[in-house]
Amino acid sequence: MERVRVRFAPSPTGPLHIGGARSALFNWLLARKYNGTMVVRIEDTDLERSSPESEKNILDSLRWLGIDWDEGVEKGGPYGPYRQTERVEIYREYAQRLLAEGKAYYCYCTEEELEAERQALLARGEMPRYTGRCLRLTVAEKRRLEAEGRRPALRFRVPPGRVVTVEDLVRGPVRFETDGIGDFVIVKSDGIPTYNFAVVIDDALMKITHVIRGEEHLSNTPRQLLLYEALGFTPPRFAHVSLILGQDRTKMSKRHGATSVEQYRRMGYLPEALINFLALLGWAPEGEKEIFSREELIQEFSLDRVAKNPAVFDLEKLNWLNGYYIRQAPLAKIRELAVPYLREAGYITGQENPAWLDLVVQSVREYLTCLAEITQHVGIYFAPQVPPADEEAANVLRGEQVPQVLTAFSRLVEERDITTVEEAKAVLKDLTRMTRLGGKQVYLPLRVALTGRTRGPELYYILPILGREKLKQRVEAAFAWLGVEKPAP
RNA sequence: GGCCCCAUGGUCAAGUGGUCUAAGACACCGCCCUUUCACGGCGGUAACCCGGGUUCGAAUCCCGGUGGGGUCACCA
């Protein structure tokens, strides 16, 4: 069997979109599974909208996701260049051939003329399709038009009365009638090829065996098939994956929230979580497993388990998966990833003791859905003061046993070192012994005194994180809030 | 509007004529664990778009309808 060669061919007109990332992922999984080659090609023939910034963003996002490529832009390879604007000479050659063979012809219509024609067709209730009028131009007319300064576009002559069948790997055979397809432009008047033309030549020349892409390209495929035929190329196998929709079941766009990989990266989603999530969107593994490492995905992936129906992007599930990965990852890794968010919030300088930072992160990691959320949970450690946050907390602090508890606690703080979880646990245990009170009577008010809240991380994390000075200070503040004189030791 | 794709719980989805009184996951609800919340464990609510066929038998096959999506550019 021939070696699998797949490609991801983004157009650099914006950041890498979630949908694009999934297409890239599916291609990559197939390549890695069959020991094939992953090619990345940049389709920048839209001179207006393409930008180097977008290209960089896309490539960076791919790298961040761990989707690497063997051939392509920034990497080179035997079928380069891999940026379409650098390949115009190649396209020109094939265009000339089609022209010489009478399979393509020049069209001098202006945008206005085409629009007028479209409207006329629409008005008569007909399909808005190019009627092929420039096909009938005489040599003299062409000369006159050119003398006017008109630059022609090159149109492909679609053979009438035929049926083109796309043998789609996920959808099965899909038939299209060529009569429904107007003669389409393959080279624009500025000499730049259109998508449909360039993609065919590139995929053929780069020996691509499988084209896995979004469903929006399905109706383009018959045009491309016609071009493969006219050019004498063997077409690759096609697999069209359905689109990813927003919560309201329409195509995912900016108004649905974050749609680019970069945005998720910034919010503190882990690449392995995003990969896992994307794989599960439109593809189903054989068993009941839901958590997959990259390697497992490569092992399990197969095109015939790709779903045909469009999938709604479910942020809740991504959050769950990301939270899962955050909980599973080595603490040191999560700490490193969390530092930038804590610094940005002004909570830390980054010079802190790693062991202490570990405690901070560990105390709240199970609450996290994404790393950016960490700042909401660790605020209690850094706030200058922590008065009771609500009535419930205030009532807890007003308990009659509270002064006794706080007094005993402050004595322990003076006497003992509390820098580890173990030491903290011992102190807490001694506190109940000293006060001869039930746990709830002791720990809940202590929690409120130290954090202002009735809920939060384990006390045995809070104690060593705050440290002696802050513990003393917050106990004092609690006494002050109660309006009670701290009993002498 | 023409053409094309799609249709199982709120969401992702398994299911390819009988083992479906339909799996699993997220979300939701309850219980347990826990001297808080969360995590974790256990359990629960909840679905085959509608109508016709075919068949002894249909979520599964066929036709129609409805709904959603895509596409009809000198965008990709």
Per-residue pLDDT of A207-233, as tens digits, reads 999 999 999 999 999 999 999 999 999
Kindly state whether residues A92 and A207 are assigned to the same domain. yes
Residue A391 in domain? yes
For β-strands A37-40 and A5-8, DSSP reports them as: parallel
Task: Give the closest nucleotide to A432 (alpha carbon vs C1').
Answer: B35
Predicted pLDDT at A137: 82
Predicted pLDDT at A122: 66
Q: What is the pLDDT of residues A438-448, one digit of tens each?
A: 888 999 999 99
For residue A363, what are its two tokens? 């105390």
| End-of-domain residue from the set A189, A214, A241 | A241
ipTM: 0.94
Residue A322 in domain? no
Quickly give A265 CA vs B46 C1' distance in Å: 34
Cβ contact A104 with chain B strand, < 7 A = no
Task: Give the closest nucleotide to A316 (alpha carbon vs C1').
Answer: B26
Cβ contact A172 with chain B strand, < 7 A = yes
Cβ contact A455 with chain B strand, < 7 A = yes
| End-of-domain residue from the set A204, A223, A241 | A241
Residue A489 in domain? no
Q: What is the pLDDT of residues A365-402, one digit of tens each?
A: 999 999 999 999 999 999 999 999 999 999 999 999 99
Q: What percent of chain A has pLDDT over 90?
A: 82
pLDDT band at A251 (very low <50, low <70, confident <90, very high): confident
Q: What is the pLDDT of residues A21-46, one digit of tens each?
A: 999 999 999 999 999 999 999 999 99
| End-of-domain residue from the set A221, A241, A261 | A241
For residue A336, what are its two tokens? 């490193």
Kindly state whether residues A95 and A206 are assigned to the same domain. yes
Read off the CATH number of the domain in which A399 is found.
Answer: 1.10.10.350
The pLDDT of residue A489 is above 60: no
Kindly state whether residues A193 and A96 are assigned to the same domain. yes
Quickly give A488 CA vs B34 C1' distance in Å: 35
Kindly report the backbone phi and psi dihedral angles of residue A32, in degrees, each rounded to the nearest multiple of 5, phi listed first.
-70, -35
Kindly state whether residues A91 and A235 are assigned to the same domain. yes
Read off the CATH number of the domain in which A101 is found.
Answer: 3.40.50.620
The total of structural domains in chain A comes to: 4
Kindly state whether residues A374 and A279 are assigned to the same domain. no
| A 345-364, residues with C-beta < 7 Å of strand B | none
d(CA A88, CA A408): 81
Kindly state whether residues A275 and A395 are assigned to the same domain. no
Kindly state whether residues A222 and A122 are assigned to the same domain. yes
Cβ contact A18 with chain B strand, < 7 A = no
Q: Quick check: is A254 catalytic?
A: yes
Rounded to 5 degrees, what angle do the CA atoms A300, A302, A305 make? 105
Q: What is the pLDDT of residues A419-439, one digit of tens each?
A: 999 999 999 999 999 988 888
Residue A165 in domain? yes
Predicted pLDDT at A145: 85
Kindly state whether residues A169 and A46 are assigned to the same domain. no
Read off the CATH number of the domain in which A366 is found.
Answer: 1.10.8
Quickly give A461 CA vs B60 C1' distance in Å: 55
Domain hosting A364: range is: 330-380
* Average of per-residue pLDDT across A264-285: 96
Residue A226 in domain? yes
The pLDDT of residue A488 is above 60: no
Predicted pLDDT at A336: 96
Closest of A319, A216, A237, A207 to residue A274, by C-alpha:
A319
Out of A131-145, A239-253, A454-468, least confident range: A131-145
Closest of A392, A379, A310, A394 to residue A341, by C-alpha:
A379
Residue A431 in domain? yes
Kindly state whether residues A123 and A223 are assigned to the same domain. yes
Predicted pLDDT at A253: 77
**Which residue among the candidates A56, A254, A308, A440 is catalytic per the annotation?**
A254
Cβ contact A129 with chain B strand, < 7 A = yes
Cβ contact A421 with chain B strand, < 7 A = no
Q: What is the pLDDT of residues A48-70, one digit of tens each?
A: 999 999 999 999 999 999 999 99
Task: Give the closest nucleotide to A197 (alpha carbon vs C1').
Answer: B76
Kindly state whether residues A419 and A458 are assigned to the same domain. yes
Kindly state whether residues A219 and A120 are assigned to the same domain. yes
Q: Look over chain A and give the mean of its residue pLDDT values, rounded to a whole number.
A: 92
